[in-house]
Amino acid sequence: MTRPSSGRQAAPSPSRLSRRAILALSGAILVQATSARAAIGLSRFANAAGGAQTLDHAAFDALLKRRTSIEAGVVRVDYRGWKASATDRSGLADYIRHLSTSDPLRLTRREQFAYWANLYNAVTIETVLAAFPVKSIRDIRPTPLAIGPWKQKAVVVAGVALSLDDIENGILRAGWRDPRVHYAINCASFGCPNLPRTAWRGAGLTERLDAAARAYINHPRGVRFEGDKLIVSSIYRWFDGDFGGDDKRIISHLSAYAAPALKDRLAKVDRIGGHGYDWSLNEGRSS
């Protein structure tokens, strides 16, 4: 950027501004105001103290049971069958509406976590169904420059339009600062931690999050060795700060959930030798 040769320049008077410039300036101000309101909304959701209510997730339980299966430790989703069923598609839409018209601020703090994780997973499934057939969620591009649907506003809660990115990063990660967030949400990809086959709930949340972490870390798509080289999911690189910020702390996190044989191998390394991630759709048949 070049500095003006005569110091601070006077702003043009309103009479000299073109209609296009006024519209552009107005648009920029509107975008900034909208972004500010959205940030306030996200912060309110992320930092809510919590009430005393719970929420019914039985409808999501039934859909997940009917439309998912588990193959070699990976939960698969029958997107083809789900899309072909008008009943199950409307059931998913009804469940998302049930969540979006409920007030998460009235829920207990643990129920809030469950609420947001379930909403993320349900909206992700709905997004894939709307675009199916696709080979990868990254093929869903709301705009020509988009890679994946994560920035697209997809649901409105308490008057705030939210994207999947908002829910993951602006609410769950920002509000709970718990690395197990990454084991609670599923991005419709083989490389991702499993979609739970029953909805999250506040009751038993800690135990279920620990179980989800163990399932992923003890599967080769989460952690594996190639010879003596430790290869881990790219999740641990993309979000390294959530897991400690450096190789030793990330390995310590992995060790906390590793089965004995893997834990012994992790104890012998102090650095990560590589990362990998499979973006192919986690598609399968119903059980």
Quick one: pLDDT band at residue 14, thresholds 50, 70, 90?
very low
In the chain, % of residues over pLDDT 90: 84
- Give the whole-angstrom CA distance, residue 45 versus residue 231: 35
Instruction: Give 244-261 pLDDT, tens digit per residue.
Output: 999 999 999 999 999 999
DSSP 153-222: EEEEETTEEEEHHIIIIIIIIHHH--TTHHHH---SBTTSPPPPSS---STTHHHHHHHHHHHHHTSTTT
Q: Tell which wins on pLDDT, 36 or 231.
A: 231
Question: Looking at residue 18, what is its pLDDT?
Answer: 59
Question: Looking at residue 16, what is its pLDDT?
Answer: 52
The pLDDT of 225-242, averaged and rounded, is 98
Question: Looking at residue 286, what is its pLDDT?
Answer: 79
Q: Is the pLDDT of residue 5 over 90?
A: no
Question: Looking at residue 50, what is its pLDDT?
Answer: 87
Q: Tell which wins on pLDDT, 5 or 1.
A: 1
Cα distances (Å, whole numbers) of residue 7 to 3, 11, 17:
8, 13, 21
The pLDDT of 30-53, averaged and rounded, is 73
Find tokens 């919590």 and name the residue.
Answer: 50
Q: Any residues with CB less than 8 A from the CB of 127 and at least 6 apart, and which?
A: 137, 140, 149, 154, 164, 188
Q: What is the mean pLDDT of the chain?
A: 90
Find tokens 């379930």 and name the residue.
Answer: 118
Question: Looking at residue 20, what is its pLDDT?
Answer: 56
Instruction: Give 79-109 pLDDT, tens digit per residue.
Output: 999 999 999 999 999 999 999 999 999 999 9
Instruction: Give 137-195 pLDDT, tens digit per residue.
Output: 999 999 999 999 999 999 999 999 999 999 999 999 999 999 999 999 999 999 999 99
